[in-house]
Structure 1
Amino acid sequence: MYIGKFKSVSPRAVKPAGILKTFAERQKCNLTSRYQEQKFPFDTPMWDGGVGKTILASIVYNDASAETPSQEAWWPYEQSAYLLDGMVRLGILEDDENLLNVFRKNLSYMLDHPNEQRLLGHCYNDSPSEWPMAVFFRAAHAYIEAFGDEDAKQRFIEHYRNLPVETLGIGFRHINNIEGVLLCYAWSNDASLLEKAEKAYRLHNAHYSLHLEDEFELFRNKLVSDNGYVLHGVSFSEAVKLPVMLYLYSGKSEYLADAEKGLQWVLEHHEQIPGLPSCNEDFAGRDPLQGYETCVINDFAWALGYFLMATGKAEYADRMEKIFYNAFPGAILKDFTGLQYLSSPNQTIATAGSNNSFFFRGTATFRQFRTDHSAQCCTGNVHRILPNYILRSWMLDSNDAPVAALYGASSFSGVFNGKKYVINEKTSYPYAEDIAFEFSGEAVDMPFTFRIPGWCKNAAITLNGSALELPAAENGFCTVKRLWQPGDVLQLTLPMQVKRCNERYWAHYEYGPLVFSYNVPCTLHREDERSLAPCDVYPAGAWNYAIAADVPVEVVKSPVTEFPLDVPPVKLKVKAQKITNFDALELGRYTPEVPLFYQAIGDSETIELVPYASTLLRITAFPDLVERKVLNCHQVLVSDIYPYDFRKSMAEQQFLPEFLTDGELKNHCHDLVPERTGYCDLVKHFKSPENGIAYMAFRIYSDQARKATVAVSAGDAAEIFF
């Protein structure tokens, strides 16, 4: 049983072209084919015999003092499975036998060495972890779907039949093997596998609801909680797709409802400008200074693909495109010779010591562009982003008719009612508004479905040069049904408009699926002469610009080159104002925060914004050009801290009276002296318990225009009520 609106296609049915082909060639030549130069564990046999006797275990790069016997380590197999998944998919897309043969060797060794329980993936060490297999299976699934390896298919079906439900439901990320269990159910139609997946999901929820100390697990009660939570970004991305898949194969709508509710909450509280959650490595809010892990670029988009297949909602495809065309290229060197572990919308330096996140602040190499980070998960995962996007750009509807789900130059070969056809998608998207679908092969009477992005308001289509009425959209997808003849061309035009997106005291600009940034002038410095040597990127020019909300924006276009990341074919010109308090690195080594208070400097000037994808150092979130004055408080009165139950409504809280006389204030409150900067830090003055509440009372004087502004800042663990 499968009830999705869309479903995946055979990996061999899709081929990249145009810009995507150039992307794929660069990745293959400069990253994927040179995997052994990217150090441990990629310089070992990996799943083709194991990674060796000992491994470096420290997360801080080059700390060789911490070593762990490989018998206890699962992460080298997770990291190498990431690489192998990307490698086999890219090998399929590129028809590259060298890449495919590397994967075949790893697959063969693993299949030939089951343990006594006939479980796969445990021949390398004594680790009981099933998490690496959840990753490796995705690579095996792509290979089996592409080449029809029936022996491998049956071995995996047997593996998941033999995997105990208790092991599947309990253990670090073990639950993510539900993806493999359900895909084996789709292969075999063995109802016991679906039953096992549902039972394990219930067990996982029951167990981890009582073991909240296991913070990496996203169990059902946490997913749907109204109280909020902070979670590891990869753990969320891997687990949020599981109820979607359970819905796809069981038809139980509550699974999908849970997943959509949980996803919406995370995006509301933690979405970053390029479309994915912040995670350093845990969720970190919406501030543009916070980073997102390169692993999450892939894993979150992979999860969104299941949401798209389950619902047929274009909003999920829109987000997948936004992540791929912005977050992904924004986190790599454009020749695919280095990547960041953590990347941000605002980053004005990217060196070995510039990690501004509180997760190993200043100590790990996470912001530097390199292929051998202290933790190699992102180095493995980056190989998957491009092939996953291309392979999911085409899907099938419930009747096996083609769906153009994600846009980019490519071709799709399919069969409908016995008729073989090919659709060539010719476009310079996302840098151009026109997409041409050219049909060849046999004449075929079938529906063809394509997406109208949510940002597009006036889409239009032509058929063989003549205007055609755009069909009514369903969840953002339109369908044209006709007898498609060889040589037919359906052209889709998606007009793009500049959009200013305002948030708190900053704003950013979008144009169609592209996010735009100020490209901070920079210099690059390799640590040695190797082309894959770690690369530091230093600022070499100013970035301290603010942009008023009402200034016009000019769109400047030029011809699209073979690789537009190098020469951006679309730019935005806008008037900007230099400001103070945003013109220097924090402590000389970190990207500064977007300032709330500043002063304008000199006259306005015209600056160019370029696609986020074309930048290494950038300002994406600009301070809003609003004049504010700091009015220092000379006295702050704060009440005692008393219990606050976040599970109850405001009306149910046991508050002190909100309005007190001056005498009552003095009797009930502590008199605090503000810092020299005019700020009053409550955490410094009170060692408050969790879930505590306090009142603040303060008096300020307005300026001559009788205007006054109060700025109150809350950290990650605080809320403010007015």
Structure 2
Amino acid sequence: MITFRIKIKTIIGIIALILVSSNQFTATAQNTYYKNNLAPLTATKYIKLPLGAVKPKGWLYDQLTVQANGLTGHLNDVWEIAHTSGWKGDIGQNVLPECCFPRFVPRWLEGLVPLAYQLNDKRLIDLSDKYMQYLMTVQDPARVTPSVVAWSHLGRVLQGYYEATGDTAAIKLCKRILDYAYNVRNVKSNVIVAPARLGMLLGFGWWGYNKTGDSSILAIIDSTTTKNVEDWKDYFINFKDRDITAAKDYPVKKYDMGRHGVDVAQAFQYPISYSLNGKDNSYVNSVFEGIENLDKYNGQVGGRFSADEFLAGLKPTAGTELCTVTESIYSLEKDFEAIGNVSFQDRIERLMFNSLPGTCTGDMWAHQYDQQANQVLVSNDTTRLWHDNSATSNVFGFTPHYSCCLSNMHSPFPRYVENMWMATADNGLIAASYGPCEVKAKVQNNTDLTITSETAYPFGDVVNMKIHVSQTAIFPLYFRIPTWAAGTIIAVGKKTFRPEKGTVYKIEQEWKSGDEVTINFKPEVTLNRGYNDAVSVSRGPLDFVLRIGQSFSQIKIKMDRPLKPAFATGVTNWKIEPTTPWNYGLAIDLQKPAYTISFNKIGKLPFARKDEPVFLADATDFIPWTGDVPVVLRMKARKVDNWKMNGGNAGDVPQNPITTAADEIVELIPYGCTRLRIAEFPLLSIKQK
């Protein structure tokens, strides 16, 4: 089966526009147990469950434990900026008047707080309390930092913290943050007000209004965010940054509207959230147009767009900053909650299972600043295609290039778990995304419902859900059917259902304890066309890339204020060199690619691959990981003679590949399990027998 990346995404975008125009915000009823927006705000399509309602199981529990044992759970031990901070009452400490510096601790808390309560980890709860309990007492935000963006990151934490603790001081702090943003909204300083990011206030401002009914919040949001939202709406519709083939191909003014990747990723949310206050569908539609344009001109394997710092074109050696991935996920989560479009959740899964883990080590002790789809060398001693980022941007390390990504790598997996199930207007639940988990929630007739999902998804194809209810009851369950899942079969007892791909499927019946729902997504291997007619390989939400032999060596690069605690840690910087050839083209049929597939047990480090050095809990040094990746594809390939290195990068994928070698069988493994990889390949002719 073949899909063409640009064309298929254009079609999806058009379908999305039609769906939004015809049934935006159809959730007019109010859920009895989980409150939707107060008037005059329009109800969101789905309602987020309280933090802790969804708990990780299986490999997701293991992945969150990896974070707890890695940088997320120890950042205060290894980083001075988190250890001594104005964010926990060390007045004036490590919140320097610089655009990004004050944001670091709140970004970490975005991941630490939900992680602590999802794992019910007392050490992490106590650690997060050192910051959160102090912040509940702050009356004047400017005493900690004047940065509105920094306080907006902290604002994202407040809803979950309130849900987990019941501390009403979080609601009061939300209002103080909004009041402060209003008071400084016209200050001409990027350190205080970053105009491109004022829409961040929407992410938590509506929650503050819903908890208080204070109409002044509506006025604050309107006066602080309207120009920002209008600017982004115009940018997404009248996309200016077209026909960029590489970062170095055009000059860029720093922080020019739309050029900065993190700004763009955060802005996915603004028009849709803004539209909840009685605005027309043009705001919603602008987001679909913006995503379509970004895919067309900057799209990359893994669901992301290129932006090493600024938009960087279609080449698979273009960089994407980790913060851009993280912020894209957050925005898409808010968008799905608001309007329920399946394509948002599809992209979240693609980012979560490919781009996010693919730019971190399997033990979550190191990360990159910039990742590449075709990444065949990780080093700090060669040239890259970045706009102005340093050579260290490609290193897996502690603070490669700059510190922002160290603070911003922690939230996606905890938030993914938090949003796997959501409430619906008719007192049911929707399975918004998939993975091993357990949800406990109220449904129709005050029924206590527990659903336990057992699955290897996305590394496996089947999700089995076991249902337990406090009483037999009739209520609806909804299931998101991904756009790639044309063959999906849902079984409930003796009944089977065949939902259409790209839809939300409703099953309403009388449910009793012991009922089971089994979903088999039946994913197919698909080929996607990319830059220079290269092909990439996907199966379900996973992208598959060439397994390249890897040699790790520790290197010294400048690190931003590291601390050395009394115990050993995994803080280091890695250079990674290939030990096997990478210049392969795939010798497969474009219409019907031949392959074999095998599955392995998912290890305790789900995204680590065999022989990768990892630092385990309570270890004193790195050891080679002995487990292997959960799933492997095998395809025919040949070495391409005219595909060579270009500086520190794989050269452009040749449009006319020359091959003299014999066919080989190569292994393709999940993108998220790799640090070196080829994700976009030349397509070769099949040799006749």
TM over 0.5: yes
Deviations along 1:113-134, whole A, 9 cap, x unmatched?
Answer: 323xxxx2x1135xx4211011
Partner of 1:365: 392
Partner of 1:656: none
Which of 624, 638, 643 is the equivalent residue of 1:577?
A: 638
Deviations along 1:353-389, whole A, 9 cap, x unmatched?
Answer: 356232335x342111112234211111111111111
Alignment of 1:169-568 (within 5 A): 171-172=193-194, 173-204=197-228, 219-228=232-241, 230-250=258-278, 252-354=280-382, 356-360=384-388, 363-416=390-443, 417-442=445-470, 443-464=472-493, 466-470=494-498, 476-503=503-530, 504-527=532-555, 531-550=570-589, 552-563=593-604, 564-565=606-607, 566=609, 567-568=628-629
Offset of residue 549 of structure 1: 4.9
Q: 1:625 to 1:469 in 2, by over 3 A?
A: closer
Offset of residue 453 of structure 1: 1.1
Partner of 1:592: 651
Offset of residue 329 of structure 1: 1.3
Deviations along 1:548-604, whole A, 9 cap, x unmatched?
Answer: 452742232234333443322322211111112324x323x3343323354213212
Offset of residue 181 of structure 1: 2.0
Instruction: Give the letter aligned to residue 165 of structure 2.
Output: F
Deviations along 1:22-73, whole A, 9 cap, x unmatched?
Answer: 11111111221221354342332351134866x7xxxxxxxxxxxxxx5523
Instruction: Give the letter aligned to residue 613 of structure 1.
Output: G
Instruction: Give the letter aligned to residue 157 of structure 2.
Output: A
Contact 2:58–2:436 (Cα < 8 Å) also in 1: yes
Q: 1:124 to 1:313 in 2, by over 3 A?
A: closer
Q: Which of the two has higher C-alpha Rg?
A: 1
Larger RCO: Structure 1 or Structure 2 (Cα < 8 Å, ≥ 6 residues apart)? Answer: 2
- Which stretch has the larger CA shift, 150-159 or 603-612? 150-159
Residues of 2 paired with 1:495 and 1:315: CA distance? Answer: 18
Q: 1:558 to 1:219 in 2, by over 3 A?
A: closer
Instruction: Give the letter aligned to residue 115 of structure 2.
Output: L
Residues of 1 paired with 2:490 and 2:68: CA distance? Answer: 35
Instruction: Give the letter aligned to residue 492 of structure 1.
Output: I
Offset of residue 137 of structure 1: 0.9
Contact 2:427–2:475 (Cα < 8 Å) also in 1: no
**TM-score (norm. length: structure 2):** 0.81
Residues of 2 paired with 1:231 and 1:626: CA distance? Answer: 39
Q: Which runs of 5+ in 1 are unaligned?
A: 56-69, 207-217, 628-722
SS of 1:33's partner is helix
Partner of 1:27: 67
- 1:607 to 2:662 alignment: no
- Which stretch has the larger CA shift, 522-531 or 229-238? 522-531
SS of 1:603's partner is coil
Contact 2:427–2:476 (Cα < 8 Å) also in 1: no
Partner of 1:60: none
Offset of residue 543 of structure 1: 0.6
Residues of 2 paired with 1:51 and 1:496: CA distance? Answer: 54
Instruction: Give the letter aligned to residue 456 of structure 1.
Output: A
SS of 2:287's partner is helix
Residues of 1 paired with 2:155 and 2:85: CA distance? Answer: 18
Instruction: Give the letter aligned to residue 93 of structure 1.
Output: Q
Residues of 2 paired with 1:247 and 1:200: CA distance? Answer: 15
Which of 137, 143, 150 is the equivalent residue of 1:123?
A: 143
Q: 1:221 to 1:463 in 2, by over 3 A?
A: closer
- Which stretch has the larger CA shift, 219-228 or 399-408? 219-228
Instruction: Give the letter aligned to residue 594 of structure 2.
Output: V
Contact 1:297–1:385 (Cα < 8 Å) also in 2: no
Q: 1:607 to 1:321 in 2, by over 3 A?
A: same
Contact 1:516–1:610 (Cα < 8 Å) also in 2: yes
Instruction: Give the letter aligned to residue 524 of structure 2.
Output: Q
Residues of 2 paired with 1:49 and 1:274: CA distance? Answer: 40
Contact 2:275–2:281 (Cα < 8 Å) also in 1: yes
Q: 1:616 to 1:521 in 2, by over 3 A?
A: same
Partner of 1:151: 169
Question: Aligned Cα RMSD in Å?
Answer: 2.4
Partner of 2:248: none
Contact 1:2–1:249 (Cα < 8 Å) also in 2: yes
Residues of 1 paired with 2:90 and 2:581: CA distance? Answer: 49
SS of 1:72's partner is coil
Residues of 2 paired with 1:221 and 1:460: CA distance? Answer: 41
